[in-house]
Structure 1
Amino acid sequence: MSVILPVAQRGEDILKLKAAPVAESEFNSDWLLQLASAMHATMLERNGVGIAAPQLYISKQVIIVASRSNPRYPDAPEMDAVVMLNPQILEFSEATCFGEEGCLSVPDERAQVERAQSIKVLYHTLAGDVMETVFEGFPARIVQHEIDHLNGILFVDRLTA
């Protein structure tokens, strides 16, 4: 059984830090696999569609994107969970769209946030393989939201921008 971790809340310093990259020596390590498992379990437990390690008090560049219908996002498309280490957005579409976002670290607050409609992302898998994937629509929004966490940005910070 996976561990459910506490989620950092808005105002906590960990959420303002730039997360450290996962080192090559950490790929496929027991602690990284356990972290990914705990992140996934915590995300499911809290009806999230994505989660970033800094939200669980671990300042490392690890995110999970897992769009699926749940009580918080009833219209979310279904996709397999993707664990991304050291993700980088290589390309943003010129087309943008607004969509409702919430955050496990900012409970009970939602807002319309403008994001790129599609993005191309370079990342490593847990095993260390390099992947390049294009995400569109809601999954693209989740990736952008979670990568923001790695840079110390919450979705509410984008509302005043």
Structure 2
Amino acid sequence: MIYPITAYGDPVLKKVAQPIEKGTDIKKLVDDMYETMYNASGVGLAAPQIGMSVRIFVTDGSPMDEEDEVLQKFKKVFVNPTILEETGDEWAFEEGCLSIPGIRADVNRPPKVKIHYFDENWNEYTEEYEGIPARIIQHEYDHLQGVLFVDKVSAMKKRLIQSKLADISKGKARADYRLRFAK
């Protein structure tokens, strides 16, 4: 099932998501999240972006670079994740978000991340990622914390995009996928 993407302005995007009870069957949710993400041409999708305030996100970095073997293998499900540490000198990279169509901006993030999580079968992992996979994880993890990439941009950039953000929150946005606006 393809869900509409929750657009900027909906309160679910600003809430800290709740853990999923260990052992819960989430396979259908995972399948639906991947289908929704692919339909919107995304590389990551967090549950709040489909209106569910639970701690799960999916990733697939393969569309970003067909030559990069690391990104080709970066298709993962993160359930109840906890970032344990972020290390290295922050670097800027232009980010966008399915919930904020038409807006992109440089965001500074550390290049390495260590994360603890479960997969869709409740297998437990503690892993380290760097570069683009780390950035995708940080971006999606922020969604579970009620943080959006526009919350991390410079004050000047925030002022420049403020009217576009206001338009999105009023339902004045277009995308190649279905959007769900706050009521």
Q: Same fold (TM over 0.5)?
A: yes
TM superposition score normalised by structure 1: 0.89
State yes or no: 1:13 paired with 2:11.
Answer: yes
2:22 aligned partner: 24
- Structure 1: how far apart are the matches of 2:115 and 2:124? 10
Higher relative contact order (CA 8 A, sep 6+): 2
How much has 1:133 moved relative to structure 2?
1.2
Contact 2:44 2:57 in 1 (8 A): yes
Amino acid paired to 1:4 = I
Match of 2:59 among 42, 45, 65: 65
The Cα offsets for residues 136-157 of structure 1, whole Å up to 9 and x where unpaired, read as 1011000000000001111001
Tell me the secondary structure at the aligned position of residue 69 of structure 1.
helix
Amino acid paired to 1:94 = G
Percent of residue pairs identical: 37
2:160 aligned partner: none
TM superposition score normalised by structure 2: 0.79
Residue ranges of structure 2 left out of the alignment (5+ in a row): 156-183
Match of 1:49 among 43, 53, 58: 43
How much has 1:131 moved relative to structure 2?
0.4
Match of 2:2 among 1, 4, 9: 4
Contact 2:87 2:111 in 1 (8 A): yes
2:97 aligned partner: 103
Q: How many pairs were matched up?
A: 153
Superposition misfits of 4+ residues, deviation over 3 angstroms: 73-77
CA RMSD across the alignment: 1.7
2:159 aligned partner: none
State yes or no: 1:157 paired with 2:151.
Answer: yes
Query: Of Structure 1 and Structure 2, which has the larger fraction of its residues in strand?
Result: 1
State yes or no: 1:94 paired with 2:88.
Answer: yes
The Cα offsets for residues 58-97 of structure 1, whole Å up to 9 and x where unpaired, read as 1100011211225xx7887323410010111111113221
- Structure 1: how far apart are the matches of 2:90 and 2:73? 21
Query: Of Structure 1 and Structure 2, which has the larger fraction of its residues in helix?
Result: 2
Contact 2:18 2:54 in 1 (8 A): yes
Amino acid paired to 1:88 = T
Residue ranges of structure 1 left out of the alignment (5+ in a row): none
